[in-house]
Amino acid sequence: MSLIFIFILGSMIGSFLNVIIYRMPRNIDFIFKSSHCIECKEKIPFYFNIPIIGYLILRGRCSKCKKPFSIKYPFVELLTGLAFILISERFPIFSMPLEFIIFSSVFCVLLCIFFIDLEFYIIPNSLNLYLLAVFILKSILYEPLEFWLSGGFIGFFFPFLITWLYSVIRGQVGLGMGDVKLYGVLGIFLGPLGITQNIFLSCFLGALIGGSLIAIKKLDRNTPIPFGPFIVLVAVFQIYFPQFFKKYLVLF
């Protein structure tokens, strides 16, 4: 029963994450404004807002204008529900509530960064600031000063230096500052070794996928590629599957 409760809790929060993912980059209020169809503006009744089930009942379409809803909505709800279950296995919600809240909220923010950057090529400062606050608080309580300070320093200044040199030499922007800031805040949590691994692995992953898309002519060399999703993917393995990461993904 506890797993069912945790899944329902996660999927409900996932439903709210969908609102943030859609509205935050568009500067639309995501707290007080009710859910509605983005095409006809019809208000969505609460009984159709039930995570996953509402999408299935509506068959993925608005009840009024029949515009299809993105499959991303139930996917985010399902993914968040499953993630909450996995996090609760490591940090039981009733016996370790603080740890559960920290790690589940960090996952939610990383998920928002993934989808927002994927569509809009931006990482909102508010999301990076939340991670900064959480990681500093946790690091102060559990890690030595030199661990998180050096990690944050390497995470921010190394990518910043590289992208600055790239802009000077090529006259083009390499990494966006949102990516640089994300590296910096992750460095506080991951430490100097962890953030160095993230930088190299995310760059490798980005080059591999970007190069493959160029090779099959889905992209050309001048098409910008959102880099935040690659940083997030590596960070998720580092934070939530540390043993798997250490065993299979440490290449550098």
Contacts of 153 (CB under 8 A, 6+ apart): 187
How confident is the model at residue 239, as a pLDDT?
A: 94
pLDDT at residue 182 tops 80: yes
Indicate whether 109 and 145 sit together in one domain: no
Confidence of residue 153 (pLDDT cuts 50, 70, 90): very high
User: Which tokens in the block code for residue 167?
Assistant: 């802009």
Picking from 120, 140, 163, the residue at the C-terminal end of a domain is 120
Task: Please give the residue range of the domain that contains residue 21.
Answer: 1-120
Q: What total of structural domains would you count in the chain?
A: 2
What integer pLDDT is reported at residue 117 of this predicted model?
Answer: 96
Q: Quick one: 146 and 109 in the same domain?
A: no
User: Residue 168 has what pLDDT?
Assistant: 81
- Tell me: do 107 and 127 sit in the same domain: no
User: Element (H or E) spanning 165, and its range?
Assistant: helix 145-170
- 164 and 110 in one domain? no
Q: How far apart are CA 227 and CA 120, in angstroms?
A: 11
Over residues 101-150, the pLDDT tens digits come to: 999 999 999 999 999 999 999 999 999 999 999 999 988 888 899 999 99
**The two three-digit tokens of residue 140, written as one number:** 């102060």
Provide the pLDDT for residue 242.
86
Q: Are residues 184 and 231 in the same domain?
A: yes
State whether 26 and 147 are in the same domain.
no
Last residue of a domain, one of 99, 120, 141: 120
What's the rounded Cα separation, in Å, for the pair 44 and 34? Answer: 8
Whether residue 157 sits in one domain with residue 227: yes
